[in-house]
Structure 1
Amino acid sequence: MRPPCEEIVQQLLPAFRSLVAKELIEKHRLSQTEAARRLGTTQATISHYLASKRGFKDSEKLRSIPGVMEAAVKVAKELVEEKSSRPEFTPNFCRVCAALRGVKNLCKV
């Protein structure tokens, strides 16, 4: 039996980061390299997010959950305005994670 946080880290965090990355690139017009820098990942990871090779299946699930897209938009905006750093990203994701734990069939919690 896996703990909920393991499920979240392996499946939902990449999906959420995918949503944030797409927001950074499509809405805020950042390059893949700049989006990667702000998210603390690599350009290759961002490329996978955009090509729907990583985080795609679960990002589609996340889009349908109230509040998740709003959180992704907020995180992206804060990263663009440099109001948020990676350590500040954690509490934002923890709030999303706590909300997701109440959603049936999203993860086994």
Structure 2
Amino acid sequence: MVREGFQAPCEIASKHVVPAIRAALAILLVNEYGLSAYRVAKLLGMTPAAISNYLLRRRGGELVDKLLEDAEIRKVLVELAEKLISDDMSESLSFHLCRICRVVRQRFL
């Protein structure tokens, strides 16, 4: 039986880590690759409004800066950004998000 107040790691990640990863990826795609918010929204399967919120740092929190400053995580985010741009997604976006999320949880949570 699950205790009240217990949250699995993926529950915590879905509320905090995944939005930060998406925000960091959106920021990279717009600021460093010159894509429009609309194009990034299409690539990530999100709305342009959500991307705008990420760019304005209304979502994702302080963790976004930590992700972009961490060399290893940034490298993986850049690799993912380049795969998205070149349409070379042999694995699903979810697979890549989970991979990055595991590293983030180990480092920052």
1:77 pairs with 2:82: yes
1:5 pairs with 2:10: yes
**Aligned partners of 1:99 and 1:54: how far apart in 2?**
20
Once superposed, which parts of structure 1, at least 4 consecutive aligned residues long, lie more than 4 Å away?
Answer: none
Name the % identity. 30
The alpha carbon displacement at 1:64 in A equals 4.2
The alpha carbon displacement at 1:79 in A equals 0.7
**Aligned partners of 1:22 and 1:101: how far apart in 2?**
20
Matched-pair contact (CA < 8 Å) for 1:18–1:56: no
Q: Matches of residues 14-93 of structure 1 in structure 2 within 5 Å? A: 14-84=19-89, 88-93=92-97
Choose 1 or 2 for highest CA Rg. Answer: 2
1:101 pairs with 2:79: no
**Would you say how many aligned residue pairs link Structure 1 and Structure 2?**
104
TM-score by length of 2: 0.84
**Aligned partners of 1:5 and 1:55: how far apart in 2?**
16
**Aligned partners of 2:36 and 2:83: how far apart in 1?**
16
RMSD: 1.7
**Aligned partners of 2:7 and 2:66: how far apart in 1?**
20
**Aligned partners of 2:30 and 2:104: how far apart in 1?**
25
Q: Structure 2: where are the runs of 5+ without partners?
A: 1-5
State the partner residue of 2:3. Answer: none
